Amino acid sequence: MVTWIWVALAVVAVALYLSWTAGRLDRLHARIDAARAALDAQLVRRASVAQELATAGVLDPAASIVLYEAAHAARQAEAEQREVAESELSQALRAVFAEPDAVAEVRAAPGGTAAIGELTRAVRRVPMARRFHNDAVRAARAVRTHRVVRWLRLAGHAPFPLAFEMDDEPPTALTAEGGATAL
C-alpha cells in the first residue's frame, strides 16, 4: 500500500513538472510573438521615417534616391528577405548620414530638427527591439533542447523559433558619439 502511494506521488510530481515546463514553453513562445511584433513595429517605423525624410526634399537627390529605395524595399520585403532588406536600409542610412555635415544640413531645413530626432530615435530602438526578440528566442531554444521536451513534444506544433539577424548598426552621425541628440 505504501509503495502505491509513493508511485502515485512520483507520477503527480512528474505530471506537475511536465505541466510547468509546457506552460513555461508556452509563455516563452508568447514572449517571442510579442517581441517579434515590437521588432516589426520598430522596423516599419524606421523605414517610414527614412522614406519620409527621403521624400522631404532636404537631402541631395542621390541620397534621397538611395534612402527611398532602401526604405521602400524594407517595407515591401517578404518574410524570407526581410533581414537582408533591413540590413540594406541600415547600410543606406550609414551611407547617407556618414558625416555629421549631412545631419547638420537636414537640421537646417524647415522641420529638419524634428525629422532627425525621429530618425535618431528610430535607429536607436531597432537594436533594442532586436535584442529583446533574440533573447526570447534564445530562452525558448534552451528549453526546447531538453530531451524531455523533445521526446514528449511539449512544444506542440509551434515552429522552432528563429533569431532575427540583421545589420542594425546606426549611423555614427545619429548617435551620441556622432553629435546627434535624442530630442
pLDDT digits (tens, 9 = 90+) for 125-145: 999 999 999 999 999 999 998
Supply the pLDDT for residue 176: 61
Q: For residue 61, what are the CA distances in angstroms to 70, 123, 129, 179?
A: 14, 22, 31, 24
Range with the poorest average pLDDT among 107-111, 131-135, 162-166:
107-111
Worst-scoring range by mean pLDDT, 74-78, 111-115, 126-130?
Answer: 111-115
Task: Break the chain into its structural domains and give their ranges.
Answer: 19-174
Report helix angle 2-55 to 82-96, nearest 10.
40
Asked whether residue 183 carries a pLDDT value surpassing 50, the answer given is no
**In the numeric block, which cell numbers belong to residue 135?**
533573447
Which carries the bigger pLDDT value, residue 182 or residue 125?
125
Total residues belonging to the chain: 183
**Rounded mean pLDDT of the chain?**
89
The model's confidence at residue 180, banded by pLDDT at 50, 70 and 90, is low
61's CB contacts (< 8 A; 6+ apart) are: none
How far, in Å, CA of 134 to CA of 32, rounded?
A: 8
pLDDT at 91: 94
Instruction: Determine what percent of the chain is predicted with pLDDT higher than 70.
Output: 96
In this prediction, residue 158 has a pLDDT band, given cuts at 50, 70 and 90, of confident
Per-residue pLDDT band for 182 (boundaries 50, 70, 90) equals very low
For 20-46, write each residue's pLDDT tens digit.
Answer: 988 899 999 999 999 999 999 999 999
